[in-house]
Amino acid sequence: MKKAEERELVGVKEIARRANVSIATVDRVLHNRPGVSVKTKNLINSIIEELDYQPNIFARRLASKKVLELAVLMPHVSSETEYWDAPLKGILSAEAEIRAYGITIKQYLFDQNNRKSFTKQARLVLDSHPSGVLLAPMFIEESKKFTQDCDKMQIPYVFINSDLPEQKSLCYIGPDLYHSGYLGAHLMQYLMRDKETVLIVNISKEMDNHHHLLRKEEGFRAYYQDHNKEISILKLDIRDTDYLSVKKELTKFLAKHEVQAFFVSNSRVFSVARYLDEAGLNDKLLIGFDFLDENIGYLKKSTIDFLICQKPQEQGYRGIMALYNHLVHNASIENVYFMPIDIITKENYAFYRN
């Protein structure tokens, strides 16, 4: 028996095992054929429901003898940030659930600091003609070109982490970036006095006018405009993301400006926390993003005051399941699924799950 056929039979075998019947008996129930007692049929159907199988769809998948391949196009985990480990865990969790349906997932991972790396991996995805794509669109123009190629090839795609609203994605699963920034400013206003200064820090090598970090900045500024707060907002874009470069840029900036608070627009907030620790500036207010080990370490020390988190592991899981439900079950998919905006402190971090 071929490996694909073996994978296709796994689900039927599990149903048969739980019901203590033969595979042939399960097949009769799946295809609504006679020859099975009412009691046994009810038992098998209850197991199918428990496992969240849909018998008619499942039977068609078995009959099709076709393996669907999904492609994942997102950044790899780097020495600078472990953020992308979380969505990858969610993707692998989803893969474990749907493997029995003859679905495989192939990863195409790129360097989030290198546009050419993205373009190269995007081309490999298209050359493989996948059944669907899960995409983290880090580079705006390159991502648009890629999705337009997917449209031409009739390949459905799902966005996670950041959205490109004008594209024809199956759905977007991730944070509302604007409101994430708006919330950051709301937290700031509880702890800052009028006429104090906050510094927005964007740490990213590749940043254009449409970069997703700038949507957070836009939301942050909007809060103060909406509430007429007399807070001075400064901005520092750091394009070299290693710690020594971050340290150099912060040192140079703070030699010229007095700053009481820092808002870091992504998961690299730990770099700013490290700098504040080393410089003895632990009295500064610091807010950033994402539930990473390095960030939690500084949260526990109170160097970071708040982390804003939006369940990247669940984003990866839901993204794959959206493609699965669309391709296998022909289910309608919600066009936008915003993740909750969670506020993490040193008091509650131990109870949080990504």
Per-residue pLDDT tens over the stretch 69-99: 999 999 998 767 789 999 999 999 999 988 8
Indicate the residue type of 324. Answer: Y
* pLDDT per position as a tens digit, 215-252: 999 999 999 999 988 899 999 999 999 999 999 999 99
pLDDT-based confidence at 173, cuts 50/70/90?
A: very high
Determine whether domain 177-309 maps to CATH 3.30.470.20.
no
Instruction: Classify domain 68-174+312-339 by CATH architecture.
Output: 3-Layer(aba) Sandwich (3.40)
What is the rounded average pLDDT for all residues in the chain? 89
Nearest C-alpha neighbor of 288 from the set 186, 184, 161: 184
pLDDT at 3 over 60: no
Question: What percent of the chain is predicted at pLDDT more than 90?
Answer: 67
Locate the DSSP E strands across the chain.
68-75, 103-110, 132-135, 157-160, 171-174, 197-203, 232-238, 261-264, 285-289, 306-309, 336-338, 342-344
Domain boundaries, the chain: 3-64, 68-174+312-339, 177-309
pTM of this structure: 0.80
* pLDDT per position as a tens digit, 99-129: 877 889 999 999 988 899 999 999 999 999 9
Within a 10 A sphere around the Cβ of 274, how many other Cβ atoms?
A: 17
pLDDT-based confidence at 65, cuts 50/70/90?
A: low
Buried b vs exposed e over 165-193: b needs ≥16 C-beta within 10 Å? Answer: eebebbbbbbbbbebbbbbbbbbbeeebe
Q: Do domains 3-64 and 177-309 have the same CATH topology?
A: no
Determine whether domain 3-64 maps to CATH 1.10.260.40.
yes
Q: What is the pLDDT of residue 57?
A: 52
pLDDT at 33 over 80: no
